[in-house]
Amino acid sequence: MTVQLNETHDINLRSWVASANNAETDFPIQNLPYGMFRRQGSNQAFRIGIAIGDQILDLAAAHAVHAFAGYTELQGGHFTAAVNGQTLNGMMALGAPVWSALRLALSRVLREGSSQQGTLQACLLAQSAAEFALPAHIGDYTDFYTSVHHATAVGKLFRPDNPLLPNYKWIPIGYHGRASSIGVSGQQFHRPIAQTKPPTAETPVFGPAKRMDYELEVGIFIGPGNALGDVINMEKAESHVFGLCLLNDWSARDVQAWEYQPLGPFLAKNFASTISPWVVTLEALAPYRLAWTRDAADPQPLPYLDSPALRDHAAFDIELEVLLQTEKMRTEGTPPHRLSLSNFRHSYWTVSQLVTHHTVNGCNLNPGDLLGSGTQSGPAPEEAGSLLELTEGGKKSIALGNGEQRIFIEDGDTIIMRGWAQKEGVARVGFGEVMGTLLPARS
C-alpha cells in the first residue's frame, strides 16, 4: 500500500459540490469515503455511496453515465458488478490498485471545472435525506486490545500490583466477537439480561446488567483476503485493508467480571456493537501517518511483527471523541456532553501488526471481515475510552454540566463518537459519527 501523497491530497482542490469546500466538513474532496445508502423511507436496494460534503454520490449511477471512462482499472465485469453491489464486499475484494484508480477518477469528476458536473448532479442525494446500512456483510469479527493505557488502567482495578499480564507487550491480544449483532449508526438495543455475581453475594443472580459501558474503538475493514494456510506478512498487510471506521463495542461490565475467566468475553459483549456508516480509505489518511515507536524499555516486536515501513509510517493521527446525550438533554435541546478526547496514535499495536498476527497461524481473512482496535485510551485521564476508566471502576461519578451525573450508562442514553484527522497545511479528513442508544431491558 503506497503512502505517497498524490494529486488527490492537494489541499487546494475544491469541489463543485459547494458544501465539500467548508473547512469544517468531514467530507471534503480529499476524503471520499464509502458507505451504503438509500433514500430515507424507501424500499430501494441499498447502493454504494461516496460522501462529498453534505451529499452522497451514487456510485452505480455515476458509473452508468460513464463517469469513469478512460481508466483501465475501472473497466470490465468485475468492476461493474462491484459498483452495483448491495454491499461493499465486492469493491473490497478488488484491491488497492482499483481503489486508488477509482479515488483518482472520483476526485477529478468532482472537482470544480469538471465537464461532468451537469451529468453527475443528478447522481447526488443529500445525506439528510438518506438512510444507511452496514457497509459490508461482516462474515467475521475480531476485537483486539491495542491500547496499553486502557489495559493498564483496567488492570489496576483488578491487579493493582501487576496490571499488565506478561504477554501484553509481546503479542496483540484479541478474541473472536459476534458479527451478527453489529449494527450501523443509529442502532438501538435493549439492556442485556444475563448472569452476574454481586461482590457481596454468595451466589450469582440473573437479571438486567447494571454496569453498562461503551468502548471507543477504530474498526478495520479487510479488503482482499488470504487463502487458508497462507500468511499476510507485514510488507503486504496494509494492501489487505480497505479502510477504517468508528466502532463502539458496548460492554456490560458486571456480566464481564463474572464470565470472562477463563475464556474471555461472551455475553458481556455480543449483544450489540455499532459502527459508523462511512469507511475512510487508507489512501485518504496518507497525510496523517506517523512514525510508530516502541519505548526502548519495552520488548521490541518479534521479527514477524516488525518492518521498516512499520517504524516509518504505520501509526495514524486520528482524533477520537466521545459524547453522551441523555433523554433530558434531548428534551431540553441542550448539546451532548463530551466525556473524553483521545487519539489513535497512542495505539500500542498498529493496523498492519493486527492483520499479520491474525494470519500468522494460517487463519484466512475474507473481504468485509472487521477487526476492532480495542478501546483507544490515551495517557491522560481525560483520554480514557470507557466509563470504566473515567469513573475508576464505578467509584467516581461524572458531572454532565446540566445537573445530571453518570457512573455507567442509563436507559435512554445515547453515546456519540466522532473521529477526524486535521492539521495545518492538510485537508481535514473525518469519519462522521457513530450513535447508539440504550433501551430498557425487555420485560
Count of the separate structural domains present in the chain = 2
Residue with cell 484527522: 421
Residue 253 has what pLDDT?
A: 97
Which of 86, 109, 132 delimits the end of a domain?
132
Q: For the residues 312-316, what does the mean pLDDT come to?
A: 97
Which tens digit of pLDDT belongs to each residue from 247-267? 999 999 999 999 998 998 999
The verdict on 385 and 292 lying in the same domain is yes
Residue with cell 475474507: 366
CATH classification of the domain holding 216 = 3.90.850.10
Write the DSSP string, 226-292: --TT----TTTGGGGEEEEEEEE--EEHHHHHHH-TTT--STTTTT-EEE-S-BEETTTTGGGEE--
How would residue 4 be classed by pLDDT, with cut points 50, 70 and 90?
confident
82 Rama sector, left if φ>0, alpha if ψ -120 to 50, beta otherwise: alpha
The verdict on 296 and 384 lying in the same domain is yes
Cell of 377: 485510551
| Contact of 103 with 74, CB cutoff 8 Å | no
Domain for residue 211, yes or no?
A: yes
Residue 193 sits at φ, ψ, to 5 deg, of -110, 130
Is residue 40 pLDDT above 90, yes or no? Answer: yes
Residue with cell 466502532: 247
Is residue 321 pLDDT above 90, yes or no? Answer: yes
The verdict on 127 and 185 lying in the same domain is no
List of E strands, 291-425 = 315-316, 319-325, 337-343, 370-372, 398-399, 405-406, 414-423
Domain for residue 2, yes or no?
A: no
The verdict on 62 and 116 lying in the same domain is yes
> 87 Cβ partners below 8 Å, 6+ apart?
36, 46, 133, 134, 135, 136, 137, 368
DSSP type of residue 114: -
Is residue 231 pLDDT above 80, yes or no? Answer: yes
Residue with cell 472487521: 370
The verdict on 95 and 149 lying in the same domain is no
Which of 70, 97, 132 delimits the end of a domain?
132
The verdict on 194 and 121 lying in the same domain is no
Domain for residue 255, yes or no?
A: yes
Residue 1 has what pLDDT?
A: 47
The residue range of the domain holding 243 is 141-439
Domain for residue 172, yes or no?
A: yes
Domain for residue 1, yes or no?
A: no
The verdict on 328 and 184 lying in the same domain is yes
Q: Report the candidate in 54, 5, 63, 4 with the shortest Cα–Cα distance to residue 28.
A: 54
| Contact of 218 with 376, CB cutoff 8 Å | yes
Domain for residue 39, yes or no?
A: yes
Residue 261 has what pLDDT?
A: 87
Q: For the residues 199-225, what does the mean pLDDT come to?
A: 97
Domain for residue 164, yes or no?
A: yes
Strand, helix or coil for residue 409: strand
Q: Report the candidate in 69, 132, 131 with the shortest Cα–Cα distance to residue 102.
A: 69
Write the single-letter amino acid at 437.
T
The verdict on 390 and 292 lying in the same domain is yes
The verdict on 123 and 149 lying in the same domain is no
The verdict on 209 and 327 lying in the same domain is yes
Which tens digit of pLDDT belongs to each residue from 118-166? 999 999 999 999 999 999 999 999 999 999 999 999 988 888 888 999 9
The verdict on 119 and 248 lying in the same domain is no
> Any catalytic annotation for residue 78?
no
Which tens digit of pLDDT belongs to each residue from 345-358? 999 999 999 999 99
Q: For the residues 212-223, what does the mean pLDDT come to?
A: 98
Residue 160 has what pLDDT?
A: 85
Helix (H) or strand (E) holding 37: strand 34-39
Q: Mean pLDDT over all residues of the chain? A: 96
CA 294 to chain centre: 24
Cell of 289: 501517518
**Catalytic residue from among 150, 240, 346, 357:** 150
Domain for residue 83, yes or no?
A: yes
Is residue 182 pLDDT above 70, yes or no? Answer: yes
What percent of the chain is modeled with pLDDT above 70?
A: 99
The verdict on 121 and 149 lying in the same domain is no
Q: For the residues 313-317, what does the mean pLDDT come to?
A: 97
The strand pairing partners of 414, in sequence order, are 325, 437
Which tens digit of pLDDT belongs to each residue from 78-123? 999 999 999 999 999 999 999 999 999 999 999 999 999 999 999 9
The strand pairing partners of 279, in sequence order, are 34
Which of 115, 132, 149 delimits the end of a domain?
132
What percent of the chain is modeled with pLDDT above 90?
A: 95
The strand pairing partners of 281, in sequence order, are 243
CATH classification of the domain holding 79 = 2.30.30.230
Residue 159 has what pLDDT?
A: 86
Q: What percent of the chain is helix, strand and coil (3-state, nearest 5)?
A: 25, 30, 45
Residue 158 has what pLDDT?
A: 80
